[in-house]
Each structure stands twice: as structure tokens, then as C-alpha cells.
A and B are shown apart, each in its own frame.
Chain A
């Protein structure tokens, strides 16, 4: 879809155009949080990061010009990382479980309940 846009008029990719687009995307991801809507921040920050990574991989690394299996290998490795996340997050994201607790985190949670400002004192 972007090939036409990136064409330099001779059927080649204009890397400068790719770079300009990357900078525009960077700017959007920077401006996003100023709207102070969390959903927008998440999309502008991480959605755009994925798009930028895709553009760099495709137009700078030329991964799509490589044999297909290179893409498959890279995607498989990424999938393994999601697998790692899925298996690990249920444990790491809890502050207590059967027979264990994380004291520091529990203290953090109590501080939040008691009112704001507990954190600053905790961490400095």
C-alpha cells in the first residue's frame, strides 16, 4: 500500500520519504498524550510503535525481499515471547497467591487506599 507513496519516480523506494513518514509518526506518538485520553495515548504510543517497526523492517531491513522463511522465523520468535508473557504474567501480576505474598507491593496498595502521596514517600 505504501509502495506508491514511497516511489522516487524511478520505481525505487525513496528512503528519505520513508524517513519523513517515520518522523511524522514519531511526532504523532509524542503529541498523543497531550490529549490526556488514555485510549488515545495507548494507540498513538503502541499502535504507532508497531507501525514504525513494520516500516523499518520492510523498507530499511528489506525483510519482505528476503526468502519467506526469514519472516516466519522472526514472527515465530515473537510468538514465543507472547507465549512467555501469557504463561508468566498470571503469576507476576498478582500481589498474593496460595501461600505467598509480596510485602512491598501490598504496602504500596495500602498506601494508595490511605490516600495519595504515599508513593512519593516510598520511593525517594
Chain B
């Protein structure tokens, strides 16, 4: 695929040396920064759709049967479609494009000191395919039968047989959208990996690469290496849906558990695909705002590689109750508990980096610190689910749901806000309003915890997921704890969600206000070391006015021999 796009471009075509029209500058640009912004804002728009879906089904859960404002009555089929597409959108159309594609595109060329991605036109193609996939997904909500409602994991036979899922067209379009999205990220990922491997500025050795770049590259490799079986699986599922084969139909000689393996062999590394960039963003922020060197750079790097390899050995812990071989379940329990070690180590490394630093508590730093704390809760609750015995009780309850929201929310939302507020001065040349930023932070982080902590208790008390109306289950209605009933907890979660969604208005107001009338940022407002801060803000097409040379690692803060507390990578000794 990589060659085809490169080769097919006619020689002699060059749209970069003359005045650019609106279309070539904003829509068909090959500039990595513009493509990053396209990914960023498409991802944010999709996040609004995903958030709206969450609003609709949370309202239904808290107030069953009500006429939800801006949506209407949520029917059971709507409910299934809403939860399915909420999950799909938030993982594939928000976390992936924003964390990997947007930050990867923006940061890789700037932080390694080159003018663009190595294959700018493949980069543009990648975004165009991604946009197409988003359009296909959105279209799937409006086809006859409605959007696909078989959960984001799309287990057959529910996903394979129209007589079960009742959404033949929706299910197929969902699958096509996901497959297109994989193609987009394969193109983008190979571009990222190649760029970081080959296009580094003169003098930048492997250990001089900022941690966020390493992590985005490792994440791209993990994606590339894990998605293959799922692409094969998607082809097979597509045939099951539309041609009449029976790869996943046990009545005709297939095996539904095979799909689960194909899916989770990708699905588990996928968690690390989005986690690693977020961890990298946090590493950049906490070193800058505690004015300290990253604790144990090399150890962190080896840990990242170790985590990447281990992440391929844990996938079946999602399937403990699917009837997998109990002996294999033991193996997967052990590997799952093992993989918590490197991640825990990473948290300790970050805390050690903070220790004794001179800490600035501004908006990006608050998000970064919140990431560590909240992700810790997600990680610790994962231990219960990784142990096959405990998982039999907890599986498919709200405990699982709360657990993965405590991992994915810090990754996709907190990590994104951390990175966005930290690099905003570089992206738009203006400073963000820090006071509004902090108000937005607190109004997001407190409701977030109030949404999901009640769900832990509900899940531990046995509340099953995938139930449309809990009024039908008298066992799940009575008193739960502290004088509250189950229903009270559901309502607390829903009210908190409303507050959290409302608080996002502050963010968008802040972005627009700062973009228009913010204080000029200058090249290096945070006094940070890495190369992107050498370029003007925002950087022009081509990024740097001269070729850079790198002399040291990116985390030389508070060096004892220097008057200034930072030491840019490109400054000669």
C-alpha cells in the first residue's frame, strides 16, 4: 500500500512554492501540522457525538422511559446501538486519531527536527481514508434497521447473522468503517515509524529522542503487529455477513470463539497503543513543569519495549467466561498480572521524576498529574479482572465498565487535554487562559470520578451490563449502601455526566477565546528543551528555518553548571 500511493503521484506536481488556495492549505494539505489538526478536530467532533450517545443512554438508565431532550425516547434497539457506537467511536475515532494520529503527526517531525513526514502524500491519504471511515460509520446510524447494536467487540453470531442483530446493513457498514480506519492507521503508522527511524536531525542518537516520540513509535509498531489477524478476521466476518460462509457459526462448522481470539489479539495490544502516547505526553509535561530530568530514561525505554512484547501474551483474559480452556486461563492470568509490573513501574518513575522538583501547577501539569492518579485506579482494579477466578464473578458487570473507563478516560480525555493544553502555544501561537483551564480541569475531573466510582459499587453488587431498563429487575432496585438505593447511584452517575459534558463548553470557549485574543506565546513559553520549541509558533510549512543539530537528550533541566535551568537540545555546549 505504501508504494502505491507514492508511485501513483505524477512527477512534476508541486503545490508548495506558490500562493496556496484555501483548499490546498486546509483541505488537501500535505503539511504534517495541518493533517494533525484535521485529525485532532475530526477526533474532537467524533468525541462530541460519542459524548452525546453517552448522554442519551445514561439518561435512559437513570430515568427509564423518559423523553430524553434532543434525542427522544430511547428504544431498546436505540439503546444497543448507542452503547455500541459510543464504545466504537470513543476508541477508534477519538482515542486513536487524537492520541496517535494527531499528536504523532504534529510532534514526530517537530521533535526529531525535520521538515515533514517522510511520505507527506501517504499522510494525506491516511487522513482522507480516516475521514471516509468516519462518514461511513455515521452513515450506518441512518440506514434502514438502524446502527449496529452488537457491542464494540462485535461478537458473532450476534454480529454475523441479520436474524439475530436485526441490523444487516448497520452491521456491515460498521465493519467496513472499522476496516477502513485500520487501513488509514496502517498507512499513518508505517509513515510514523519510518519517519522516526530515518529522518532524525543530525546528532540525535536513539537515547536523545523525546520519550513521547518513542512511545508513539512503539504504539504504531504494536498496532501494526496486532491488527493483522483482526483484518483477516474482519474479512471473514464480512463474508459471514454477506456471502453466507460460516467461519464463526458453530451450526455449520465454524467457531465463534475464533473471532474473540482474533479480536482480542488486537484488542489488548490496542489498549497499549493508546496508553503509550498518553504516557509519553505526560512524561514531557512533568519533566518540563518540575524542571527535572526524567527519572531513569533508559529504564523507561526498556520498560516500554517490555510492555509492548508482554501485551501480546495477555489477550485471552477478556474471554475467561467464554469457555476457553481453563489451563490456558491460568497462563493468561499469570501474564496479565505480570504486565501490571511495568505499568506500575512507570507510575513510580513519574512520581520519582516529580520528587524534589520545582513544580508549576498550571493546567497541563494538573492534567498530567490527574492522569497518573486516575490511571492508577484503573490499573489496580484491573488486577481483579485479570485473575480468572475473580473475573467469573465480575465479568459483564458495571465493575468491568468502571474499570476500563478508569483506563480509557485518562488515556483518551485526560491525556488529550494534557497534550493539547501543553502544545497549544506551539500549535496556535497563543497562550491559553490558565484560569479558565483550571476551572475546566476541576469541573471535568470531579464529575468524572463521581460518574464511575458509583459504577464500581454497582458492579461489585452484581449489576449486570447490557440491561436497558433496570426497573425490570427488582433485585437491582433496593438499598445498596449508605442509605442510597441502586437507582440513586445510577442517578448520581447521570447527573455527574451532565455536569461534565456541560463543563466542556468552557474548554471550547477557552480555545476560541485564546486563539483569537490570547497573549502571544513566543517560541518557547515553557522554557522546554525539545526541538519543537525552537521553531516559531505556529511553525511554518517546513518547520525550521535551518537544519538543526542535536547535542544532548531532551530532559536536561536544572543542570548545575548552567545559569538557566534548561538546556535546549540544539544548543552547542
A residues adjacent to B (C-beta < 8 A): 76-77, 80-81, 83-84, 87-88, 90-92, 94, 97-105, 108
Bound complex: CA A91 to CA B332 (Å):
14
Q: Do A103 and B251 touch (CB < 8 A)?
A: yes
Residues of A within 8 A of B356 (CB): none
Please report the C-alpha to C-alpha distance between residue A108 and residue B254 in the assembled complex, in whole angstroms. 12
Q: Indicate if B253 sits at the interface (CB-CB under 8 A).
A: yes
Q: Please provide the 10 A-B residue pairs with the shortest distance between their CB atoms, ordered closest to farther.
A: A102-B250, A88-B261, A90-B325, A104-B253, A97-B323, A100-B323, A91-B257, A92-B255, A91-B324, A92-B258
Task: Determine which of B250, B312, B324 lies in contact with A104 in the assembled complex, contact meaning CB atoms within 8 Å.
Answer: B250
Name the A residues within 8 Å of B257 (CB-CB): 91-92
Report yes or no: B253 in contact with A105, Cβ–Cβ below 8 A. yes
Q: Does B502 contact A (CB under 8 A)?
A: no
In addition to A77-B225, A102-B250, 9 A-B residue pairs with Cβ atoms within 8 Å of each other are A87-B316, A87-B328, A91-B258, A92-B261, A97-B323, A100-B250, A104-B251, A104-B252, A104-B253
**CB interface residues, B 300-332, toward A, < 8 Å:** 312-313, 315-316, 323-328, 332
CB distance from A109 to the nearest CB of B (A): 12
* Bound complex: CA A87 to CA B225 (Å): 16
A92 CA to B248 CA, complexed, in Å: 11
**Interface check B424, CB cutoff 8 A:** no
Q: How far is the CB of B88 from chain A (nearest CB, A)?
A: 23
Q: Say what secondary structure dominates the interface of chain A.
A: helix
Q: Is the CB of B253 within 8 A of A83?
A: no
Least Cβ distance of B389 to chain A in Å? 14
Residues of A within 8 A of B316 (CB): 87
Q: Are A103 and B250 also in contact (CB < 8 A) when A80-B225, A80-B312, A92-B258 are?
A: yes
- Does B489 reach chain A (CB closer than 8 Å)? no
Q: Is the C-beta of B148 less than 8 angstroms from some C-beta in chain A? A: no
CB of B265 within 8 A of chain A?
yes
Complex Cα distance, B109 from A34, in Å, reads 59
Classify chain B's interface size: 20 to 34
B378 at the interface (CB under 8 A from A): no
- What chain B residues lie within 8 Å of A103 (beta carbons)? 250-251
Report which of B250, B315, B323 forms a contact with A105, defined as CB distance below 8 A. Answer: B250
CA distance A77 to B225 in the complex (A): 7
Which residues of chain B (263-322) have a CB below 8 Å from chain A?
Answer: 265, 312-313, 315-316
Interface flag for B357 (CB, 8 Å) = no
B328 touches A91 (CB 8 A): yes
Write the residues of chain B forming the contact surface with A, with a CB cutoff of 8 angstroms.
225-226, 229, 250-255, 257-258, 261-262, 265, 312-313, 315-316, 323-328, 332
How many Å lie between the Cα of A98 and that of B251 in the bound state?
18
Q: Please tell me if the beta carbons of B261 and A84 are within 8 angstroms of each other in the complex.
A: yes
B225 and A91 within 8 A (CB): no
Q: How far is the CB of A46 from chain B (nearest CB, A)?
A: 20
Q: List 30 A-B contacts (CB under 8 A).
A: A77-B225, A80-B226, A81-B229, A83-B312, A83-B313, A84-B265, A87-B315, A88-B258, A88-B262, A90-B324, A90-B327, A90-B328, A91-B255, A91-B257, A91-B258, A91-B261, A91-B323, A91-B324, A92-B255, A97-B323, A98-B323, A99-B323, A100-B250, A102-B250, A102-B253, A102-B255, A104-B251, A104-B252, A104-B254, A105-B253
CA of A29 to CA of B225, assembled, Å: 31
Q: How far is the CB of A100 from chain B (nearest CB, A)?
A: 5
The residue on B at minimum CB distance from A87 is B316
A47 → B minimal CB distance (Å): 25
- How far, in Å, is B53 (CB) from chain A's closest CB? 32
In the complex, which residues of chain B have a beta carbon less than 8 angstroms from the beta carbon of A98?
Answer: 323, 326
What CA separation (Å) do A7 and B366 show in the bound complex? 66
Most chain B CB within a 10 A radius of its CB, from A76, A77, A92, A102: A102
Instruction: Enumerate chain B residues within 8 angstroms of A92, measured Cβ to Cβ.
Output: 255, 257-258, 261
> For residue B328, which residue of chain A has the nearest CB?
A90
Contact in complex: B315, A108 (CB < 8 Å): no
Alpha-carbon separation in the docked complex, A31 to B252 (Å) = 34
Q: How far, in whole Å, are A80 and B313 apart by their CA atoms in the complex? A: 9
B319 nearest CB across to chain A (Å) = 8
In the complex, which residues of chain A have a beta carbon less than 8 angstroms from the beta carbon of B265? 84, 87-88
In the complex, what residues of B have CB within 8 A of residue A83's CB?
312-313
Q: How far is the CA of A104 from the CA of B246 in the complex (A)?
A: 11
Q: Which of B253, B262, B313 has the most CB of A within 10 A?
A: B253
A84 to B233, CA, bound (A): 13
- Give the CA-CA distance A100 to B251 in the complex, in Å: 12
**Within the complex, what minimum Cβ distance (angstroms) separates A118 from chain B?**
14
Q: How far is the CB of B219 from chain A (nearest CB, A)?
A: 16
Task: Kindly state the separation between the CA atoms of A101 and B327 in the bound complex, as whole angstroms.
Answer: 18
Please tell me which one of the listed residues A84, A97, A101 contacts residue B229 in the complex, with CB atoms under 8 A apart.
Answer: A84
In the bound assembly, the distance between CA atoms of A62 and B229 in angstroms comes to 27
A100 to B321, CA, bound (A): 11
- In the bound assembly, the distance between CA atoms of A92 and B236 in angstroms comes to 15
Chain B residue at smallest Cβ distance from A79: B312
Q: Which residue of B lies closest to A101 (CB)?
A: B250
Instruction: List the A residue with the shortest CB-CB distance to B193.
Output: A73
Give chain B residues whose Cβ lies under 8 Å from the Cβ of A99: 323
Q: State the CA gap A80–B311 with chains docked (Å).
A: 11
Q: Which of A80, A97, A105 gathers the greatest number of chain B CB atoms within 10 Å?
A: A80
Complex formed: what's the CA distance from A76 to B228 in Å?
Answer: 14
- In Å, the complex CA distance between A83 and B335 comes to 13
Which chain A residue lies CB-closest to B260?
Answer: A91
Which residues from chain A contact B229 at a C-beta distance below 8 Å?
81, 84
From known contacts A83-B313, A87-B261, A87-B316, infer whether A94 and B325 are also in contact, taking CB-CB under 8 Å: yes
For residue A88, which residues in chain B have a CB less than 8 angstroms away from its CB?
Answer: 258, 261-262, 265
Which B residues lie within 8 Å of A90 (CB)?
324-325, 327-328
- Which residues of chain A have C-beta atoms less than 8 A from B261's C-beta? 84, 87-88, 91-92
In the assembled complex, the CB of A95 is this many whole angstroms from the nearest CB of chain B, namely 9
CA distance A80 to B314 in the complex (A): 12
Contacts of B312 in A (CB 8 A): 80, 83
- The answer on a CB contact under 8 Å between B325 and A91 is yes
Residues of B within 8 A of A102 (CB): 250, 253, 255
Q: How far is the CA of A68 from the CA of B139 in the complex (A)?
A: 46
Quote the shortest CB–CB distance from A108 to chain B (angstroms).
7
